[in-house]
Chains A and B, each alone.
Chain A
C-alpha cells in the first residue's frame, strides 16, 4: 500500500521525455505558474463562500440573544467556526495533497465560508464598546472566552477531523479486504 502510494507521487515520465531540451521558460511567472491567490477562478470561489458566510453570520447575529448587552452571538459564531475549520482542514489534509476537489472544498468552505462566517473586527469593536462602557470584567471575560474557546474549539475540530479520517480509512480497508477475498 505504502509502495503504491509513493509510486503515485512520482511525476509521470513520458516516453521520449529525456531527449527533450530543458525548457528555459519554466521559471518565468506565467498563468500556469501563478500562485492560487492570484488565480481569478480561485478568488471567485472564495468570494462565493464568503457571501454565504457573511449572510449566515448576519442572520445568526440578529437571531441569537444578547444577554445584558454582552456579545454572545459573535462568541458562539467564532467558536463554532473555529471548530468547523479545524475539522475541515485536518480532514482534507489527511485525505491527500491540496489539489483538485480537496482544494475546491478548502477554498469554498474553509477560506470562503468559514473565514467570512467568523470575524475578528466585530470581536475587537465589541470589546472596545464594553471597555468604553466601564465594564472591564465583561470585556476581559468576552476576550478570554473568545481566545481560549477558539483555540480549544479548533483543537477539538482537528481531533474530530483526524478521527473521522481514521474511521473512513479503516472502513475502506475492510471493504478492500472483503472485495480482495471475493476476487480470489
Chain B
C-alpha cells in the first residue's frame, strides 16, 4: 500500500514540477534554468524538513517514504539539471554552467540543512 502511494505521489511530484517549471520559464528573462533551480532548492528544503520530522518521531516513517521518496523525489530532478548544464556549456555560457551546477548543489544542501534545523527549534 505504501509503495502504491509512493508511486502515485511520485507522479504528483512530477506533474507539479512540469507546471512550476512551465510557469517560471514563461516569466524568466535569463538563460539560467531558474525553474529547475527553484524546484530543486524548494524540494530539498522540504525534504530536509520532512527528514527532521521523521527523525524526531513527529511523523510516521511511511509518510517519509510517500512524501520524501515519492512526492519530493519525483518533484526534484537531477537529470534535467545535468542536461541543462551541458546545454549552457554548449552555448558557451560557461559561468552560467558553473552557477547552475555548483550553485544549485550548494543551495540545495544548505536548504536541506535549513529545513532539518527548523525541526530542531
Q: Are B77 and A119 in contact (CB under 8 A)?
A: yes
C-alpha spacing A96/B94, complex, angstroms: 27
Q: Number of contact residues on A: which range applies?
A: 35 or more
Q: Are A51 and B43 in contact (CB under 8 A)?
A: no
Given the contacts A51-B11, A123-B108, A151 and B18 also touching, CB distance less than 8 Å: no
Q: Are B22 and A51 in contact (CB under 8 A)?
A: no
Q: Is B78 part of the contact surface with A, judged by Cβ < 8 Å?
A: yes
Where chain A touches its partner, the secondary structure class is helix
Q: Is B70 part of the contact surface with A, judged by Cβ < 8 Å?
A: yes
Q: Is A158 part of the contact surface with B, judged by Cβ < 8 Å?
A: yes
Q: Is B56 part of the contact surface with A, judged by Cβ < 8 Å?
A: no
Q: Are B79 and A47 in contact (CB under 8 A)?
A: no
In the complex, the chain B residue whose C-beta lies closest to that of A55 is B7
Q: Are A46 and B14 in contact (CB under 8 A)?
A: yes
Q: What's the count of A-B pairs with C-beta under 8 Å?
A: 203
Residue of B11, B23, B89, B113 touching A54 (CB-CB under 8 A): B11
- A:92-135 near B, CB below 8 Å: 107, 111-112, 114-125, 127-128, 131
Q: Are A86 and B83 in contact (CB under 8 A)?
A: yes
Residue of B11, B22, B108 touching A35 (CB-CB under 8 A): B22
Residues in chain A within 8 A of chain B (CB atoms)? 35-38, 42-44, 46-55, 57-58, 61, 78, 81-82, 84-86, 89, 107, 111-112, 114-125, 127-128, 131, 143, 146-147, 150-151, 153-155, 158
Residues in chain B within 8 A of chain A (CB atoms)? 3, 6-15, 17-19, 21-23, 26, 40, 43-44, 46-48, 51, 65, 68-70, 72-83, 85-86, 89, 101-102, 104-105, 108-109, 111-113, 116
Q: List 30 A-B contacts (CB under 8 A).
A: A37-B18, A37-B23, A38-B22, A44-B15, A53-B74, A55-B6, A58-B7, A58-B70, A78-B82, A81-B79, A85-B79, A85-B83, A107-B18, A114-B79, A115-B14, A115-B17, A116-B11, A116-B74, A120-B77, A121-B76, A121-B108, A122-B73, A123-B105, A124-B47, A128-B109, A128-B112, A143-B109, A150-B85, A154-B79, A155-B86
